[in-house]
A = this chain, B = another copy of it.
Amino acid sequence: MGVIDQTTCPVKTGSIYPSPYKEMMAGRSSLRLGDAGGLTQFGANLVILQSGAMSSLRHWHQNEDEFVMGVQGICTLVQDEGATDLHPGDCAAFKAGDPNGHHFQNRTKAEARFLVVGFRAATEVATYSDVDFRIEQSGGVNTFTHRDGTAWEGHR
């Protein structure tokens, strides 16, 4: 491989979240650049946020390091301590196991983009900071639970 053709790179839309969370991801899409380049050890995705969109629910990963670089427009990082604007070239890191949840919002009127790289662990738990929701991932299967580990039965 070498240079990745971004004009033919598949665009991922939608969300693996159950309702009512998946509807909150409207206006977000991503180019799976690493997958298009044949990479398997980590994901490298260009996340595209329309005005008003968010990258995900605010969350943290148990097993997977995550790295972000701003590419276009302003992506606002929200963590426990508040909001910080990420401009093109600005970078952020989220160490696996750090329970300070994060996500990005596009609070501007223009499209915003960032590159996100995430390690691919054999098993993973994503915990969502602002709702009673977790996703356990193992063997390609996503299991939705509440924070206490019980099966997810809807927003509560």
Contact = CB atoms under 8 A, between A and B. Distances in A.
A90 B5 CA distance: 9
A36 B93 contact: yes
User: Taking each of A36, A67, A79, which has the highest tally of chain B beta carbons within 10 Å of its own beta carbon?
Assistant: A67
Contact of A84 (B2, B81, B102, B119): B2
A126 interface: no
Interface in A56-87: 64-65, 67, 69, 71-72, 77, 79, 81, 84, 86
Contacts of A93: 1-2, 4, 33-34, 36-39, 44
Number of copies: 2
A1 B37 contact: no
Contact of A37 (B77, B89, B95, B100): B95
Contacts of A39: 65, 67, 93, 95
Interface of A: 1-4, 6, 33-34, 36-42, 44, 46, 64-65, 67, 69, 71-72, 77, 79, 81, 84, 86, 89-96, 98, 100, 102, 115, 117, 119
Given A1-B93, A44-B67, 8 more contacts: A2-B79, A2-B93, A33-B93, A34-B67, A34-B93, A38-B95, A39-B65, A42-B67
